[in-house]
Chains A and B, each alone.
Chain A
Amino acid sequence: DGGITQSPKYLFRKEGQNVTLSCEQNLNHDAMYWYRQDPGQGLRLIYYSQIVNDFQKGDIAEGYSVSREKKESFPLTVTSAQKNPTAFYLCASSMIGRGADTQYFGPGTRLTVL
């Protein structure tokens, strides 16, 4: 089955610690994305990557970092500089070019900072 996996589903961390969220896809998509969802709000774009070893900031990149060493993987690190990290994080992927007009989402990771 092709799809996007995110792990873990729930993550708890102490304030001040960095934490890395995993995202893997086997859809052979070139582009990958990270979104943040807060209660009662839509999704906001954190970072995206169109190709291996390249990525761009989205609307709310401060306090986050990413890497794209493999086409299948796009991990997100929530650093201690992120002032309000508790949220639901969603990873997505898409083809590029004309196929970029549809993004497919993973199941999400709920991060709680204590």
Chain B
Amino acid sequence: GNSVTQMEGPVTLSEEAFLTINCTYTATGYPSLFWYVQYPGEGLQLLLKATKADDKGSNKGFEATYRKETTSFHLEKGSVQVSDSAVYFCALISITGTASKLTFGTGTRLQVTL
């Protein structure tokens, strides 16, 4: 079946540091890949997505590239801010009938300090 593996957290960085959160997946075919972000006490917000190999998703300075060869979708940001402190989830989607099913990683907590 499908699965997503993320690096364990927490990740603690100083403001303006470079961020990488690793994500690898196992799936049948080539599913769309996602990064969602969850701020404390809130629901999930879609951060970015990529629908096919070599696609790069980007939003708010975050980027991730769909790498079919390494089955990876690592999240990167060149300069993090305190406001980026949150839990980040990598996910893939499979279509079930006319709906869809998301498979999530366990999440990586990012803490950014001044």
Contacts and interface: CB of A to CB of B under 8 A. Distances in A.
Interface range, A side: 20 to 34
Contacts of B95: 100-101
Given A31-B100, A50-B99, A42 B107 contact: yes
A94 B43 contact: no
Contacts of B45: 105
B49 A102 contact: yes
Given A40-B106, A41-B106, A101-B93, A107 B42 contact: yes
A30 B98 contact: yes
| B interface SS class | strand
| A interface SS class | strand
Interface residues of B, number: 26
B73 interface: no
B4 interface: yes
A43 B43 contact: no
B98 A50 contact: yes
Interface of B: 4, 32, 34, 36, 42-46, 49, 51, 89, 91, 93, 95-102, 104-107
Given A43-B104, A56-B96, 14 more contacts: A6-B43, A40-B106, A40-B107, A45-B102, A51-B98, A58-B101, A92-B102, A94-B99, A94-B100, A100-B98, A101-B51, A103-B100, A105-B36, A107-B42
